[in-house]
């Protein structure tokens, strides 16, 4: 199953997160410290934990300033702080239909909630009549049976009546067949609802949570950890246990008295870990993992000595011909290695369905190493598992994957922490990591990309990128792949940017007609700082003196985005005049509106809106892209 949405309520500083849409591959939760990122992930982990002795607790997790007030109104034990929706995938539906019959589940959407007392609640739509019909389809009823049953109660009554006819061998055989088929569907002493819950529970993925503090110790007491109950181990101990299992603990390789056999197995594990680390740890390609077992004695308290078997992890650095204990390596490396060890318990077993929750991953890594870890997520984790990670680091945000980003903002005690998909319309502090990511990406492109298309802001970036991809996918002209789009943060910033870097870079500028800074661009062209042919005004494409990029959309297409963004029903016949559409809307509503919201709507719902784009819209953007591409040779 795929996780599609999450809502957290009354958990730490999250009063109501709102419905958070989860991407099918990777979702990035961005926000500053204490904004509620960890609370969101920890609540989700407790819905269906894969590891760790965790539970929901009112004293520890219910918002303290609301607990006493809310106790007077309701039973907090039965309050659900976390609810998630899942989509049944084709392979899951096949499993369910094999047991319950086709159509027994009316919807592909299933919800799971958990109360503070630990009770889980499943929400689904089962069709009892379809389940009964599937059973009857496999058994031929005796002639004269009458109306076919449409419920399990009626089916049980039919079976009982057939059994009563002890002289009729056919009736007894049919009753036995029906009884067996019903038992296969319902199980022992279950009704349809309980049986469906049992089946769904086996299909819904668990949540694997990993935080910065979940570190592997440098040495592990083998016997003590192997004898411990997994369900009672802390996340740190489970990380160590995973390393033991990776080293063959289940087959007693670790404690095998045959030194050669034991050493060979440990080297195999060390080599596998080294190979994986080196692929994604580009900071130092000269390290090698070394795993060994030592024995030491320690007093037992009764005058005796106990022999303790310990697994030791060391890292050999070929640059310095030196090995160091694992816990003396950098915090970033220890985190990455510990994560590989912890996740190894799930990585190679497709039956262990987990969704990966990473709380501030790679916090101790520098920028390049964080980029490596993002590559690890995309190449090794997300192809088979959904990943949700939180961050406040600009280097853990991918500018080309803004649809993955959810912004977290703590709005104070009255509202609490909220999570939004509106990456273009949030407050400056929360937006800072995203701005930093775009800035870093920009800095990288400025010194690498030979062809830069300067645009005013993120809305322009979004419209151009999405329409170009759509046109290209339909064998029409989009932006040449050589272009690197550079949003500079507003019309007035375009001349400044060009003045600073125009002499050193190959730049084409796209600006709205007659906006601030346009005259400065003209003067720069007069001074030879920028070729006039490389200044493209939207009005030239739209065929009017004044035009914004939004005017390249057919009016009905842009209003569809506007209405979806703001929940309105504005029609084209309500707008008067022939000036730019943004001005016409503002004149009609009497108030300014956030121009980024429709762009964000298109970003989030591209698969819905782009196929509906009119011929007029596509022709306008294609005309623009042809004009922009022509400047490559200018």
Q: What is the pLDDT of residues 218-237, one digit of tens each?
A: 777 777 877 888 777 777 77
Count Cβ atoms within 10 A of the Cβ of residue 634 and give its class: 0-12 exposed, 13-18 middle, 19 or more buried: exposed
Instruction: Single out the residue of 520, 552, 547 nearest to residue 535, CA to CA.
Output: 520
| b/e code 115-135 from CB counts within 10 Å (16+ = b) | bbeeeeebebebbbebbbbbb
- Asked if 31 and 423 touch (Cβ cutoff 8 Å), the reply is no
- Asked if 355 and 206 touch (Cβ cutoff 8 Å), the reply is yes
What's the pLDDT at 445?
58
- Fill in the DSSP letter of residue 612: G
Each domain of the chain, given as residue ranges in start order, spans 2-79+354-434, 109-203, 220-297+305-329+340-345, 449-632
**Which stretches of the chain drop beneath a pLDDT of 50?**
none
What's the pLDDT at 247?
61
The radius of gyration computed from the CA coordinates of the chain, to the nearest angstrom, equals: 31
* Fold of the CATH domain 2-79+354-434: Rossmann fold (3.40.50)
Q: What angle do CA 80, 82, 86 make, to 5 degrees?
A: 120
What's the pLDDT at 70?
94
What's the pLDDT at 558?
96
What's the pLDDT at 424?
55
Rounded percentage of the chain residues whose pLDDT exceeds 90? 43
């Amino acid at each position: 199953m795929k996780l599609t949405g999450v809502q957290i309520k009354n958990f730490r500083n999250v009063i109501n997160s709102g419905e958070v849409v989860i991407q099918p591959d990777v979702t990035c939760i961005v926000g500053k410290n204490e904004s509620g990122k960890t609370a969101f992930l920890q609540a989700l982990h407790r819905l269906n934990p894969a590891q760790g002795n965790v539970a929901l607790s009112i004293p520890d997790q219910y918002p303290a300033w609301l607990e006493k007030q809310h106790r007077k109104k309701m039973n907090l034990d039965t309050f659900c702080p976390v609810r998630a929706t899942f989509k049944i995938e084709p392979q899951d539906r096949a499993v369910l239909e094999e047991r319950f019959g086709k159509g027994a589940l009316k919807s592909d959407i299933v919800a799971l909630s958990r109360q503070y007392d630990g009770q889980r609640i499943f929400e689904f739509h089962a069709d009892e009549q379809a389940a009964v019909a599937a059973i009857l389809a496999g058994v031929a009823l005796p002639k004269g049976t009458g109306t076919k049953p449409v419920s399990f109660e009626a089916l049980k009554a039919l079976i009982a009546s057939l059994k009563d006819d002890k002289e009729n061998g056919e009736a007894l055989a049919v009753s036995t067949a029906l009884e067996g088929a019903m038992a296969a569907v319902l199980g022992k002493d279950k009704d349809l609802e309980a049986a469906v819950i049992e089946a769904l529970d086996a299909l819904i993925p668990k949540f694997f949570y990993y935080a910065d503090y979940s570190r592997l110790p440098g040495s592990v007491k083998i016997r003590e950890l192997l004898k411990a109950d997994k369900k009672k181990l802390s996340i740190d101990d489970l990380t160590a246990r995973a390393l033991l299992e990776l080293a063959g603990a289940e087959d007693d390789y670790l404690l095998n008295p045959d030194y050669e056999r034991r050493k060979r197995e440990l080297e195999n594990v060390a080599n596998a870990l080294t190979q994986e680390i080196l692929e994604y740890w580009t900071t130092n390609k000269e390290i090698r993992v070394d795993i060994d077992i030592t024995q030491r004695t320690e007093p037992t308290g009764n005058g005796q000595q106990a022999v303790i078997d310990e697994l030791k992890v060391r890292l050999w650095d070929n640059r310095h011909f030196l090995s160091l204990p694992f816990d003396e390596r950098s915090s970033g490396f220890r985190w990455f290695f510990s994560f590989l060890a912890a996740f190894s318990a799930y990585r190679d077993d497709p039956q262990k369905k987990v969704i990966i929750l990473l709380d501030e991953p790679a916090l101790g890594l520098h920028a390049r190493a964080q980029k490596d870890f993002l590559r690890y997520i995309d190449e090794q984790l997300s192809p088979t598992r959904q990943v949700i990670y939180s961050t406040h680091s600009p280097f853990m945000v991918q500018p080309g994957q803004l649809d993955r980003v959810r912004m977290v903002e703590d709005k104070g005690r009255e509202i609490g922490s909220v999570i939004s998909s509106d990456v273009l319309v949030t407050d400056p502090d929360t937006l800072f990591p995203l701005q930093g990511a775009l800035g870093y990406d920009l800095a990288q492109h400025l010194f690498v990309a030979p062809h830069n298309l300067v645009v005013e802001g993120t809305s322009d970036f979004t419209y151009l990128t999405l329409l170009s991809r759509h046109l290209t996918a339909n064998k029409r002209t989009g932006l040449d792949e050589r272009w690197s789009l550079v949003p500079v943060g507003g019309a007035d910033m375009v001349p400044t940017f060009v003045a600073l870097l125009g002499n050193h870079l190959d730049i084409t500028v796209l600006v709205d007609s007659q906006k601030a800074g346009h005259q400065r661009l003209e003067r720069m062209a007069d001074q030879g700082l920028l070729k006039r042919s490389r200044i493209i005004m939207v009005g030239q494409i739209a065929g009017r003196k004044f035009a914004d990029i939004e005017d390249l959309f057919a009016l009905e297409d842009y209003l569809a985005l506007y209405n979806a963004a703001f929940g309105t029903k504005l029609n084209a016949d309500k707008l008067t005049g022939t000036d730019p559409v943004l001005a016409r809307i503002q004149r009609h509503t009497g108030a300014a509106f956030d121009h980024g919201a429709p762009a964000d709507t298109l970003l989030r719902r591209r698969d819905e809106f782009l196929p509906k784009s009119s011929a007029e819209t596509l022709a306008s953007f294609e005309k623009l892209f042809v004009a922009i591409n022509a400047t490559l040779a200018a």
